[in-house]
Chains A and B, each alone.
Chain A
Amino acid sequence: MKAVITVIGHDTVGILHRVSGICSVNNANIIEVTQSVLQDLFAMFMLVDISKLDGDFSNLSNQLTALGEEMGLSIHTMHEDIFNSMHRI
Protein backbone atom coordinates (compact mmCIF):
# COMPACT_ATOMS: atom_id res chain seq x y z
CA MET A 1 0.00 0.00 0.00
CA LYS A 2 1.31 3.38 -0.97
CA ALA A 3 0.27 6.96 -0.36
CA VAL A 4 1.06 10.17 -2.18
CA ILE A 5 2.06 13.20 -0.14
CA THR A 6 1.69 16.48 -2.01
CA VAL A 7 3.26 19.66 -0.66
CA ILE A 8 2.61 23.00 -2.34
CA GLY A 9 3.45 26.50 -1.11
CA HIS A 10 6.11 29.14 -0.69
CA ASP A 11 9.62 27.75 -0.62
CA THR A 12 11.33 27.82 2.74
CA VAL A 13 14.16 26.04 4.52
CA GLY A 14 13.49 22.55 5.89
CA ILE A 15 10.28 21.46 4.15
CA LEU A 16 11.68 18.13 2.97
CA HIS A 17 13.34 17.62 6.35
CA ARG A 18 10.15 18.19 8.33
CA VAL A 19 7.91 16.10 6.02
CA SER A 20 10.33 13.19 5.89
CA GLY A 21 10.71 13.44 9.68
CA ILE A 22 7.01 12.80 10.13
CA CYS A 23 7.21 9.89 7.65
CA SER A 24 10.07 8.42 9.65
CA VAL A 25 8.28 8.75 12.99
CA ASN A 26 5.26 6.95 11.53
CA ASN A 27 7.42 4.29 9.83
CA ALA A 28 6.33 5.32 6.33
CA ASN A 29 9.11 4.41 3.93
CA ILE A 30 9.82 7.04 1.26
CA ILE A 31 10.02 5.40 -2.17
CA GLU A 32 10.24 8.35 -4.51
CA VAL A 33 10.40 12.13 -4.33
CA THR A 34 9.80 14.62 -7.12
CA GLN A 35 10.41 18.23 -6.25
CA SER A 36 10.53 21.50 -8.13
CA VAL A 37 10.74 25.19 -7.31
CA LEU A 38 9.25 27.54 -9.86
CA GLN A 39 10.03 31.14 -8.88
CA ASP A 40 8.91 31.07 -5.23
CA LEU A 41 6.47 28.17 -5.51
CA PHE A 42 7.60 24.92 -4.00
CA ALA A 43 5.94 21.70 -5.21
CA MET A 44 6.86 18.27 -3.94
CA PHE A 45 5.29 14.88 -4.62
CA MET A 46 6.36 12.03 -2.39
CA LEU A 47 5.42 8.37 -2.81
CA VAL A 48 5.58 6.51 0.50
CA ASP A 49 5.02 2.89 1.50
CA ILE A 50 2.36 2.77 4.22
CA SER A 51 2.07 -0.99 4.60
CA LYS A 52 4.13 -1.03 7.81
CA LEU A 53 2.83 2.17 9.39
CA ASP A 54 3.05 2.58 13.15
CA GLY A 55 -0.51 3.54 13.94
CA ASP A 56 -3.37 4.64 11.71
CA PHE A 57 -3.12 6.24 8.31
CA SER A 58 -5.12 9.14 9.74
CA ASN A 59 -2.34 9.79 12.30
CA LEU A 60 0.16 10.33 9.51
CA SER A 61 -2.30 12.37 7.52
CA ASN A 62 -3.29 14.57 10.49
CA GLN A 63 0.32 15.22 11.46
CA LEU A 64 1.19 16.27 7.92
CA THR A 65 -1.88 18.49 7.67
CA ALA A 66 -0.92 20.13 10.97
CA LEU A 67 2.63 20.66 9.68
CA GLY A 68 1.17 22.27 6.57
CA GLU A 69 -0.85 24.68 8.68
CA GLU A 70 2.18 25.50 10.83
CA MET A 71 4.44 26.17 7.82
CA GLY A 72 1.80 27.85 5.65
CA LEU A 73 1.86 25.04 3.09
CA SER A 74 -0.85 22.98 1.51
CA ILE A 75 -0.13 19.32 2.34
CA HIS A 76 -2.36 16.48 1.12
CA THR A 77 -1.87 12.84 2.06
CA MET A 78 -3.91 10.51 -0.10
CA HIS A 79 -3.92 6.81 -0.84
CA GLU A 80 -2.41 6.22 -4.30
CA ASP A 81 -5.47 4.19 -5.36
CA ILE A 82 -7.49 7.34 -5.92
CA PHE A 83 -5.03 8.60 -8.53
CA ASN A 84 -4.70 5.19 -10.15
CA SER A 85 -8.44 4.77 -10.43
CA MET A 86 -9.07 8.25 -11.81
CA HIS A 87 -6.20 8.48 -14.25
CA ARG A 88 -5.28 4.95 -15.28
CA ILE A 89 -7.37 2.34 -17.02
Chain B
Amino acid sequence: MLNTSDILETIRMIQDECLDIRTITMGISLLDCCTGDMSTLCDRVYDKITHCAEHLVATGEQIEAEYGIPIINKRISITPAAIMLAATNGGDPVQLARTLQRAAETTGVNFIGGFSALVHKGFSAGDRELIRAIPQAMAETTRLCSSVNVGSTKAGINMDAVAMMGKVIREAAVLTADAQCMGPAKLVVLCNAPEDNPFMAGAFHGVGEPDCEVHVGVSGPGVVRAAIEKYPDATFDELADIIKRTAFKITRMGQLVGTRASKMLGVPFGIVDLSLAPTPAIGDSVAHILEGMGLSVCGMHGTTAALALLNDAVKKGGVMASSSVGGLSGAFIPVSEDAGMIAAAESGVLSIEKLEAMTAVCSVGLDMIVLPGDTPASTISAIIADEAAIGMVNNKTTAVRVIPAIGKQSGESLEFGGLFGSGPVMAVRNESAEAFIARGGRIPAPMHSIRN
Protein backbone atom coordinates (compact mmCIF):
# COMPACT_ATOMS: atom_id res chain seq x y z
CA MET B 1 0.00 0.00 0.00
CA LEU B 2 1.16 3.51 -0.68
CA ASN B 3 2.29 5.68 2.17
CA THR B 4 -0.75 7.59 3.46
CA SER B 5 1.24 10.77 4.02
CA ASP B 6 2.32 10.70 0.35
CA ILE B 7 -1.32 10.33 -0.70
CA LEU B 8 -2.35 13.23 1.51
CA GLU B 9 0.54 15.38 0.27
CA THR B 10 -0.57 14.93 -3.35
CA ILE B 11 -4.20 15.70 -2.52
CA ARG B 12 -3.20 18.77 -0.50
CA MET B 13 -1.03 20.04 -3.38
CA ILE B 14 -3.97 19.79 -5.78
CA GLN B 15 -6.74 20.99 -3.46
CA ASP B 16 -5.10 23.65 -1.35
CA GLU B 17 -1.98 24.69 -3.22
CA CYS B 18 -3.38 25.09 -6.76
CA LEU B 19 -1.21 22.36 -8.32
CA ASP B 20 -2.33 21.74 -11.86
CA ILE B 21 -1.25 20.80 -15.33
CA ARG B 22 -1.46 24.19 -17.00
CA THR B 23 -1.66 22.83 -20.50
CA ILE B 24 -1.51 19.87 -22.81
CA THR B 25 -0.34 21.37 -26.07
CA MET B 26 -0.39 19.48 -29.34
CA GLY B 27 2.24 20.64 -31.81
CA ILE B 28 1.15 20.19 -35.42
CA SER B 29 3.32 20.73 -38.48
CA LEU B 30 1.42 22.45 -41.28
CA LEU B 31 4.29 22.39 -43.77
CA ASP B 32 2.42 19.87 -45.90
CA CYS B 33 -0.48 22.34 -46.24
CA CYS B 34 1.56 24.90 -48.18
CA THR B 35 0.12 25.87 -51.55
CA GLY B 36 -0.13 28.89 -53.85
CA ASP B 37 -3.77 29.69 -53.20
CA MET B 38 -4.81 31.23 -49.87
CA SER B 39 -8.27 29.62 -49.77
CA THR B 40 -6.87 26.17 -50.51
CA LEU B 41 -4.22 26.72 -47.83
CA CYS B 42 -6.93 27.63 -45.31
CA ASP B 43 -8.97 24.52 -46.19
CA ARG B 44 -5.92 22.27 -45.79
CA VAL B 45 -4.91 23.90 -42.52
CA TYR B 46 -8.41 23.53 -41.09
CA ASP B 47 -8.64 19.89 -42.15
CA LYS B 48 -5.22 18.93 -40.78
CA ILE B 49 -5.69 20.64 -37.41
CA THR B 50 -9.21 19.32 -36.84
CA HIS B 51 -8.06 15.83 -37.84
CA CYS B 52 -4.90 15.72 -35.67
CA ALA B 53 -6.49 17.37 -32.64
CA GLU B 54 -9.91 15.74 -32.93
CA HIS B 55 -9.55 13.87 -29.64
CA LEU B 56 -7.21 16.27 -27.83
CA VAL B 57 -9.79 17.87 -25.53
CA ALA B 58 -11.58 14.59 -24.74
CA THR B 59 -8.22 12.95 -23.97
CA GLY B 60 -7.29 15.79 -21.64
CA GLU B 61 -10.61 15.48 -19.84
CA GLN B 62 -10.22 11.72 -19.47
CA ILE B 63 -6.73 12.05 -17.98
CA GLU B 64 -8.04 14.75 -15.66
CA ALA B 65 -10.71 12.36 -14.39
CA GLU B 66 -8.35 9.38 -14.03
CA TYR B 67 -5.63 11.11 -12.09
CA GLY B 68 -7.77 13.68 -10.33
CA ILE B 69 -5.42 16.43 -11.45
CA PRO B 70 -6.87 19.56 -13.08
CA ILE B 71 -5.73 20.20 -16.65
CA ILE B 72 -6.52 23.87 -17.10
CA ASN B 73 -5.98 24.33 -20.84
CA LYS B 74 -5.80 22.23 -23.97
CA ARG B 75 -3.90 24.02 -26.70
CA ILE B 76 -2.45 23.66 -30.18
CA SER B 77 0.79 25.06 -31.59
CA ILE B 78 1.40 25.18 -35.32
CA THR B 79 4.20 25.79 -37.80
CA PRO B 80 4.94 29.54 -37.87
CA ALA B 81 2.27 30.88 -40.20
CA ALA B 82 4.71 33.14 -42.07
CA ILE B 83 6.44 30.04 -43.46
CA MET B 84 3.17 28.92 -45.03
CA LEU B 85 2.47 32.41 -46.34
CA ALA B 86 5.81 32.30 -48.17
CA ALA B 87 4.25 29.86 -50.62
CA THR B 88 0.99 31.73 -51.27
CA ASN B 89 0.59 34.16 -54.13
CA GLY B 90 -1.10 37.06 -52.36
CA GLY B 91 -4.23 36.73 -50.27
CA ASP B 92 -5.04 38.18 -46.88
CA PRO B 93 -3.21 36.57 -43.92
CA VAL B 94 -6.18 37.52 -41.72
CA GLN B 95 -8.15 34.87 -43.63
CA LEU B 96 -5.70 32.31 -42.27
CA ALA B 97 -6.13 33.78 -38.78
CA ARG B 98 -9.90 33.34 -39.02
CA THR B 99 -9.39 29.76 -40.17
CA LEU B 100 -7.17 29.03 -37.17
CA GLN B 101 -9.79 30.52 -34.84
CA ARG B 102 -12.44 28.30 -36.46
CA ALA B 103 -10.19 25.23 -36.07
CA ALA B 104 -9.69 26.10 -32.40
CA GLU B 105 -13.45 26.37 -31.89
CA THR B 106 -14.13 23.06 -33.68
CA THR B 107 -11.53 21.15 -31.66
CA GLY B 108 -12.55 22.93 -28.45
CA VAL B 109 -9.03 24.02 -27.49
CA ASN B 110 -8.51 27.15 -25.40
CA PHE B 111 -5.73 28.62 -27.51
CA ILE B 112 -3.92 28.06 -30.77
CA GLY B 113 -0.44 29.53 -31.14
CA GLY B 114 1.74 30.03 -34.17
CA PHE B 115 0.53 33.11 -36.02
CA SER B 116 4.24 33.74 -35.96
CA ALA B 117 7.27 34.88 -37.88
CA LEU B 118 10.95 34.17 -37.23
CA VAL B 119 12.86 37.20 -38.42
CA HIS B 120 15.90 37.32 -36.13
CA LYS B 121 18.31 37.74 -39.05
CA GLY B 122 16.03 39.24 -41.65
CA PHE B 123 12.71 39.05 -43.44
CA SER B 124 11.87 36.43 -46.02
CA ALA B 125 8.76 36.02 -48.15
CA GLY B 126 5.62 36.07 -46.02
CA ASP B 127 7.20 37.57 -42.91
CA ARG B 128 6.31 41.23 -43.48
CA GLU B 129 2.81 40.32 -44.69
CA LEU B 130 2.17 38.29 -41.57
CA ILE B 131 3.55 40.92 -39.19
CA ARG B 132 1.45 43.66 -40.80
CA ALA B 133 -1.66 41.47 -40.43
CA ILE B 134 -1.12 40.76 -36.71
CA PRO B 135 -3.16 43.68 -35.28
CA GLN B 136 -6.23 42.85 -37.37
CA ALA B 137 -5.79 39.10 -36.74
CA MET B 138 -5.63 39.67 -32.98
CA ALA B 139 -8.70 41.94 -33.12
CA GLU B 140 -10.79 39.44 -35.07
CA THR B 141 -9.91 36.33 -33.05
CA THR B 142 -10.10 35.35 -29.39
CA ARG B 143 -8.14 32.09 -29.24
CA LEU B 144 -5.31 32.81 -31.66
CA CYS B 145 -1.89 33.79 -30.29
CA SER B 146 0.91 35.44 -32.19
CA SER B 147 4.65 35.73 -31.73
CA VAL B 148 7.59 37.23 -33.57
CA ASN B 149 11.19 36.24 -32.91
CA VAL B 150 13.33 39.33 -33.46
CA GLY B 151 16.68 38.21 -32.13
CA SER B 152 18.94 35.32 -31.24
CA THR B 153 22.37 34.77 -29.73
CA LYS B 154 23.58 33.40 -33.06
CA ALA B 155 22.08 36.06 -35.33
CA GLY B 156 21.91 39.27 -33.31
CA ILE B 157 18.86 41.54 -33.14
CA ASN B 158 16.87 42.56 -36.21
CA MET B 159 16.23 46.20 -35.32
CA ASP B 160 13.97 46.73 -38.35
CA ALA B 161 11.70 44.06 -36.90
CA VAL B 162 11.98 45.63 -33.44
CA ALA B 163 10.86 48.98 -34.91
CA MET B 164 7.97 47.26 -36.68
CA MET B 165 6.80 45.43 -33.56
CA GLY B 166 6.48 48.64 -31.52
CA LYS B 167 3.98 49.89 -34.09
CA VAL B 168 2.23 46.51 -34.37
CA ILE B 169 1.71 46.31 -30.58
CA ARG B 170 0.27 49.85 -30.48
CA GLU B 171 -2.00 49.16 -33.43
CA ALA B 172 -3.21 45.89 -31.89
CA ALA B 173 -4.09 47.82 -28.73
CA VAL B 174 -5.90 50.57 -30.63
CA LEU B 175 -7.98 48.03 -32.60
CA THR B 176 -9.07 46.31 -29.37
CA ALA B 177 -9.40 49.48 -27.24
CA ASP B 178 -13.07 48.71 -26.54
CA ALA B 179 -12.15 45.19 -25.34
CA GLN B 180 -9.58 46.07 -22.64
CA CYS B 181 -6.87 46.31 -25.33
CA MET B 182 -6.83 42.52 -25.43
CA GLY B 183 -5.00 42.32 -28.80
CA PRO B 184 -1.42 42.72 -27.50
CA ALA B 185 -2.11 40.34 -24.58
CA LYS B 186 -2.06 37.53 -27.17
CA LEU B 187 1.08 38.78 -28.87
CA VAL B 188 4.67 38.32 -27.74
CA VAL B 189 7.99 39.48 -29.16
CA LEU B 190 10.78 36.99 -28.47
CA CYS B 191 14.53 36.60 -28.57
CA ASN B 192 15.90 33.03 -28.71
CA ALA B 193 12.36 31.60 -29.04
CA PRO B 194 12.17 27.88 -28.17
CA GLU B 195 10.57 25.73 -30.86
CA ASP B 196 8.77 23.36 -28.49
CA ASN B 197 7.16 25.79 -26.07
CA PRO B 198 3.68 24.73 -24.90
CA PHE B 199 2.93 28.07 -23.22
CA MET B 200 1.10 30.98 -24.83
CA ALA B 201 1.44 33.46 -26.33
CA GLY B 202 4.83 32.30 -27.63
CA ALA B 203 3.95 28.72 -28.59
CA PHE B 204 4.70 27.61 -32.12
CA HIS B 205 5.72 24.30 -33.68
CA GLY B 206 9.30 24.58 -34.95
CA VAL B 207 10.33 23.17 -38.30
CA GLY B 208 12.71 20.70 -36.65
CA GLU B 209 9.87 19.08 -34.69
CA PRO B 210 8.01 15.92 -35.80
CA ASP B 211 4.76 16.06 -37.76
CA CYS B 212 2.64 15.92 -34.63
CA GLU B 213 3.56 15.64 -30.94
CA VAL B 214 2.21 16.47 -27.54
CA HIS B 215 3.83 18.65 -24.87
CA VAL B 216 2.86 19.24 -21.28
CA GLY B 217 3.26 22.43 -19.29
CA VAL B 218 3.12 21.96 -15.54
CA SER B 219 2.63 24.67 -12.99
CA GLY B 220 2.58 24.94 -9.22
CA PRO B 221 3.84 28.18 -7.65
CA GLY B 222 1.52 27.52 -4.69
CA VAL B 223 3.18 24.19 -3.95
CA VAL B 224 6.65 25.74 -3.90
CA ARG B 225 5.42 28.59 -1.70
CA ALA B 226 3.85 26.13 0.76
CA ALA B 227 7.04 24.02 0.82
CA ILE B 228 9.38 26.90 1.64
CA GLU B 229 6.97 28.34 4.21
CA LYS B 230 7.52 25.25 6.32
CA TYR B 231 11.22 26.15 6.68
CA PRO B 232 11.42 29.80 7.73
CA ASP B 233 14.95 29.36 9.09
CA ALA B 234 16.43 27.42 6.18
CA THR B 235 19.63 28.76 4.61
CA PHE B 236 19.67 29.45 0.87
CA ASP B 237 21.34 26.15 0.00
CA GLU B 238 18.73 24.33 2.08
CA LEU B 239 16.02 26.41 0.41
CA ALA B 240 17.32 25.45 -3.04
CA ASP B 241 17.14 21.81 -2.02
CA ILE B 242 13.53 22.14 -0.83
CA ILE B 243 12.54 23.78 -4.13
CA LYS B 244 14.37 21.09 -6.13
CA ARG B 245 12.52 18.30 -4.32
CA THR B 246 9.17 20.01 -4.89
CA ALA B 247 9.92 20.70 -8.57
CA PHE B 248 10.88 17.06 -8.99
CA LYS B 249 7.49 15.85 -7.75
CA ILE B 250 5.58 18.35 -9.89
CA THR B 251 7.54 17.41 -12.99
CA ARG B 252 7.07 13.68 -12.42
CA MET B 253 3.35 14.34 -12.54
CA GLY B 254 3.80 16.25 -15.81
CA GLN B 255 5.83 13.41 -17.25
CA LEU B 256 3.11 10.92 -16.29
CA VAL B 257 0.38 13.02 -17.91
CA GLY B 258 2.49 13.61 -21.02
CA THR B 259 3.30 9.96 -21.61
CA ARG B 260 -0.32 8.99 -20.99
CA ALA B 261 -1.60 11.65 -23.41
CA SER B 262 0.97 10.61 -26.00
CA LYS B 263 -0.15 6.98 -25.78
CA MET B 264 -3.85 7.79 -25.91
CA LEU B 265 -3.47 10.17 -28.85
CA GLY B 266 -1.01 7.95 -30.71
CA VAL B 267 1.53 10.74 -31.26
CA PRO B 268 5.08 11.12 -29.89
CA PHE B 269 5.62 12.76 -26.52
CA GLY B 270 7.50 16.03 -26.92
CA ILE B 271 8.62 17.73 -23.75
CA VAL B 272 7.61 18.68 -20.24
CA ASP B 273 7.89 22.40 -19.64
CA LEU B 274 8.30 22.72 -15.90
CA SER B 275 7.48 26.36 -15.57
CA LEU B 276 6.10 27.94 -12.45
CA ALA B 277 3.25 29.72 -14.20
CA PRO B 278 1.19 31.88 -11.85
CA THR B 279 -2.50 32.66 -12.12
CA PRO B 280 -4.39 35.53 -10.50
CA ALA B 281 -5.88 33.02 -8.02
CA ILE B 282 -4.90 33.43 -4.39
CA GLY B 283 -2.04 31.07 -3.52
CA ASP B 284 -0.84 30.69 -7.11
CA SER B 285 1.72 33.48 -7.22
CA VAL B 286 5.45 33.50 -8.05
CA ALA B 287 5.80 36.88 -6.29
CA HIS B 288 4.54 35.23 -3.10
CA ILE B 289 7.28 32.57 -3.35
CA LEU B 290 9.88 35.34 -3.45
CA GLU B 291 8.18 37.06 -0.54
CA GLY B 292 8.11 33.70 1.25
CA MET B 293 11.91 33.70 1.06
CA GLY B 294 11.97 36.80 3.22
CA LEU B 295 11.39 39.76 0.89
CA SER B 296 8.75 42.08 2.28
CA VAL B 297 7.52 43.04 -1.22
CA CYS B 298 8.40 41.60 -4.61
CA GLY B 299 10.39 44.20 -6.55
CA MET B 300 12.53 45.40 -3.62
CA HIS B 301 16.31 44.97 -3.56
CA GLY B 302 17.08 41.27 -3.30
CA THR B 303 14.29 40.21 -5.67
CA THR B 304 16.63 39.35 -8.53
CA ALA B 305 18.76 37.12 -6.30
CA ALA B 306 15.70 35.34 -4.93
CA LEU B 307 14.36 34.77 -8.44
CA ALA B 308 17.73 33.49 -9.66
CA LEU B 309 17.75 30.86 -6.92
CA LEU B 310 14.14 29.88 -7.62
CA ASN B 311 14.58 29.61 -11.39
CA ASP B 312 17.71 27.51 -11.11
CA ALA B 313 16.36 25.17 -8.43
CA VAL B 314 13.17 24.56 -10.44
CA LYS B 315 15.23 23.54 -13.47
CA LYS B 316 17.56 21.29 -11.48
CA GLY B 317 14.70 19.54 -9.69
CA GLY B 318 12.67 19.12 -12.84
CA VAL B 319 15.36 17.94 -15.20
CA MET B 320 15.87 14.69 -13.29
CA ALA B 321 12.16 13.95 -13.30
CA SER B 322 11.47 13.96 -17.01
CA SER B 323 12.80 12.15 -20.05
CA SER B 324 12.74 15.40 -21.96
CA VAL B 325 12.58 18.87 -20.49
CA GLY B 326 12.12 21.73 -22.89
CA GLY B 327 10.17 24.85 -23.67
CA LEU B 328 10.84 27.69 -21.28
CA SER B 329 11.19 25.75 -17.99
CA GLY B 330 11.75 28.02 -15.02
CA ALA B 331 9.74 30.76 -13.36
CA PHE B 332 7.39 33.12 -15.18
CA ILE B 333 6.95 36.66 -13.93
CA PRO B 334 3.85 38.03 -15.66
CA VAL B 335 2.45 41.02 -13.82
CA SER B 336 -1.27 40.87 -14.56
CA GLU B 337 -1.46 37.09 -14.06
CA ASP B 338 0.05 37.06 -10.58
CA ALA B 339 -1.77 38.41 -7.51
CA GLY B 340 1.52 39.19 -5.74
CA MET B 341 3.00 41.01 -8.75
CA ILE B 342 -0.20 43.05 -9.18
CA ALA B 343 -0.06 44.14 -5.53
CA ALA B 344 3.67 44.93 -5.78
CA ALA B 345 3.12 47.00 -8.93
CA GLU B 346 0.17 48.84 -7.39
CA SER B 347 2.24 49.67 -4.31
CA GLY B 348 4.88 51.21 -6.57
CA VAL B 349 7.68 48.93 -5.35
CA LEU B 350 7.78 46.83 -8.53
CA SER B 351 8.87 48.90 -11.53
CA ILE B 352 9.54 48.03 -15.17
CA GLU B 353 13.26 48.59 -14.56
CA LYS B 354 13.28 45.99 -11.77
CA LEU B 355 11.25 43.58 -13.89
CA GLU B 356 13.82 43.99 -16.65
CA ALA B 357 16.60 43.04 -14.24
CA MET B 358 14.55 40.05 -13.11
CA THR B 359 14.20 38.85 -16.70
CA ALA B 360 17.96 38.32 -16.83
CA VAL B 361 17.53 35.44 -14.38
CA CYS B 362 13.96 34.17 -14.94
CA SER B 363 12.85 31.88 -17.73
CA VAL B 364 11.18 34.42 -19.99
CA GLY B 365 10.84 38.20 -19.95
CA LEU B 366 8.69 41.28 -19.52
CA ASP B 367 5.28 39.69 -19.46
CA MET B 368 1.73 41.05 -19.27
CA ILE B 369 2.77 44.58 -18.37
CA VAL B 370 0.24 47.34 -18.92
CA LEU B 371 1.75 50.60 -20.25
CA PRO B 372 0.26 54.11 -20.34
CA GLY B 373 -2.00 54.53 -23.37
CA ASP B 374 0.10 57.33 -24.87
CA THR B 375 3.36 55.33 -24.87
CA PRO B 376 4.89 55.93 -28.34
CA ALA B 377 5.65 52.96 -30.61
CA SER B 378 9.35 53.87 -30.50
CA THR B 379 9.39 53.53 -26.70
CA ILE B 380 7.78 50.09 -26.96
CA SER B 381 10.43 49.18 -29.56
CA ALA B 382 13.16 50.41 -27.20
CA ILE B 383 11.76 48.20 -24.42
CA ILE B 384 11.83 45.26 -26.86
CA ALA B 385 15.43 46.08 -27.88
CA ASP B 386 16.59 46.15 -24.24
CA GLU B 387 14.93 42.86 -23.51
CA ALA B 388 16.22 41.19 -26.68
CA ALA B 389 19.74 42.38 -25.79
CA ILE B 390 19.50 40.63 -22.40
CA GLY B 391 18.41 37.43 -24.14
CA MET B 392 21.00 37.64 -26.89
CA VAL B 393 23.97 38.27 -24.61
CA ASN B 394 22.91 35.82 -21.90
CA ASN B 395 22.02 33.03 -24.32
CA LYS B 396 18.49 32.73 -22.95
CA THR B 397 14.94 33.26 -24.09
CA THR B 398 13.55 36.70 -23.40
CA ALA B 399 10.21 38.10 -24.38
CA VAL B 400 8.11 41.24 -24.31
CA ARG B 401 4.36 41.12 -23.93
CA VAL B 402 3.24 44.66 -23.09
CA ILE B 403 -0.22 46.14 -23.44
CA PRO B 404 -0.62 49.87 -24.09
CA ALA B 405 -3.85 50.78 -22.27
CA ILE B 406 -5.35 53.12 -24.83
CA GLY B 407 -6.90 56.16 -23.11
CA LYS B 408 -5.54 55.22 -19.68
CA GLN B 409 -2.79 56.56 -17.44
CA SER B 410 -0.94 55.57 -14.26
CA GLY B 411 -3.38 54.76 -11.47
CA GLU B 412 -5.82 53.07 -13.83
CA SER B 413 -5.88 49.42 -14.85
CA LEU B 414 -7.02 46.93 -17.47
CA GLU B 415 -9.23 43.95 -16.57
CA PHE B 416 -8.56 41.05 -18.92
CA GLY B 417 -10.31 38.32 -16.93
CA GLY B 418 -9.54 34.60 -16.73
CA LEU B 419 -5.90 33.49 -16.71
CA PHE B 420 -4.87 36.91 -18.07
CA GLY B 421 -5.93 38.64 -14.83
CA SER B 422 -5.82 42.40 -14.45
CA GLY B 423 -2.94 44.83 -14.61
CA PRO B 424 -2.26 48.30 -13.25
CA VAL B 425 -0.76 50.80 -15.70
CA MET B 426 2.99 50.94 -14.96
CA ALA B 427 5.09 54.03 -15.55
CA VAL B 428 7.62 54.15 -18.39
CA ARG B 429 10.41 56.66 -19.11
CA ASN B 430 9.17 59.56 -21.20
CA GLU B 431 12.44 60.37 -23.01
CA SER B 432 12.08 59.82 -26.74
CA ALA B 433 13.68 56.74 -28.33
CA GLU B 434 12.67 57.87 -31.86
CA ALA B 435 16.18 58.57 -33.16
CA PHE B 436 17.59 55.35 -31.71
CA ILE B 437 14.89 53.12 -33.16
CA ALA B 438 14.86 54.95 -36.54
CA ARG B 439 18.43 53.78 -37.28
CA GLY B 440 17.27 50.30 -38.29
CA GLY B 441 19.62 47.51 -39.35
CA ARG B 442 20.90 44.74 -37.14
CA ILE B 443 22.72 44.64 -33.82
CA PRO B 444 25.46 42.05 -34.42
CA ALA B 445 25.58 38.81 -32.48
CA PRO B 446 27.89 38.81 -29.45
CA MET B 447 31.41 37.40 -29.57
CA HIS B 448 30.47 34.28 -27.63
CA SER B 449 27.97 33.28 -30.34
CA ILE B 450 30.93 32.01 -32.35
CA ARG B 451 31.26 28.59 -30.78
CA ASN B 452 32.15 26.21 -33.57
Seen from chain A, the residues whose Cβ lies within 8 Å of a Cβ on chain B are: 4, 6, 32, 34, 43, 45, 47, 57-58, 61, 76-87
B1 to chain A: closest residue by CB: A32
Which residue from B6, B65, B253 sits with its C-beta under 8 Å from A57?
A: B65
Inter-chain CA distance A78–B19, complex, in Å, is 15
Q: Does B256 contact A (CB under 8 A)?
A: yes
Q: Does B4 contact A (CB under 8 A)?
A: yes
Interface of B is mostly: helix
Tell me which residues from 1 to 36 in chain B have a Cβ below 8 Å from any Cβ of chain A. Answer: 1-4, 6-11
Which residue from A43, A76, A77, A87 sits with its C-beta under 8 Å from B2?
A: A87
Q: Is the CB of A79 within 8 A of B67?
A: yes
A83 with B10, Cβ < 8 A, contacts A57-B65, A78-B67 known: yes
Chain A residues with Cβ under 8 A from B65's Cβ? 57-58, 61
Q: Is the CB of A87 within 8 A of B68?
A: no
Chain A residues with Cβ under 8 A from B256's Cβ? 81-82, 85
Please name 15 pairs of A and B residues whose Cβ atoms are closer than 8 Å in the assembled complex, sorted by A.
A34-B4, A45-B1, A57-B66, A76-B68, A77-B68, A78-B66, A79-B66, A81-B256, A85-B253, A85-B256, A86-B10, A87-B2, A87-B3, A87-B6, A87-B9
Chain B residues with Cβ under 8 A from A45's Cβ? 1-2, 4, 7
Chain A residues with Cβ under 8 A from B9's Cβ? 87
Q: Does B69 contact A (CB under 8 A)?
A: yes
Least CB distance from B378 to A in Å reads: 49
Inter-chain CA distance A86–B257, complex, in Å, is 12
Seen from chain B, the residues whose Cβ lies within 8 Å of a Cβ on chain A are: 1-4, 6-11, 62, 65-69, 249, 252-253, 255-256, 260
Q: Is the CB of B249 within 8 A of A76?
A: no
Q: Is the CB of A82 within 8 A of B68?
A: yes
Q: Is the CB of A76 within 8 A of B66?
A: no
A4 with B2, Cβ < 8 A, contacts A82-B10, A83-B10 known: yes
Least CB distance from A26 to B in Å reads: 14
A82 with B69, Cβ < 8 A, contacts A6-B11, A58-B62, A87-B249 known: yes
Q: Is the CB of B255 within 8 A of A83?
A: no
B19 to chain A: closest residue by CB: A86
Least CB distance from A73 to B in Å reads: 13
Least CB distance from A79 to B in Å reads: 5
Chain A residues with Cβ under 8 A from B11's Cβ? 6, 76, 78
B4 to chain A: closest residue by CB: A45
Inter-chain CA distance A10–B69, complex, in Å, is 24
Least CB distance from A88 to B in Å reads: 8
Chain A residues with Cβ under 8 A from B69's Cβ? 78, 82
Q: Which 4 A-B pairs have the closest CB atoms?
A: A78-B68, A87-B6, A85-B256, A58-B65
B69 to chain A: closest residue by CB: A82
Least CB distance from B250 to A in Å reads: 8
Chain A residues with Cβ under 8 A from B3's Cβ? 87
Inter-chain CA distance A6–B11, complex, in Å, is 9
A33 to chain B: closest residue by CB: B1
A44 to chain B: closest residue by CB: B4
A86 to chain B: closest residue by CB: B249
Inter-chain CA distance A83–B7, complex, in Å, is 6
Chain B residues with Cβ under 8 A from A86's Cβ? 6, 10, 249, 252-253
Q: Is the CB of A4 within 8 A of B7?
A: yes
B68 to chain A: closest residue by CB: A78
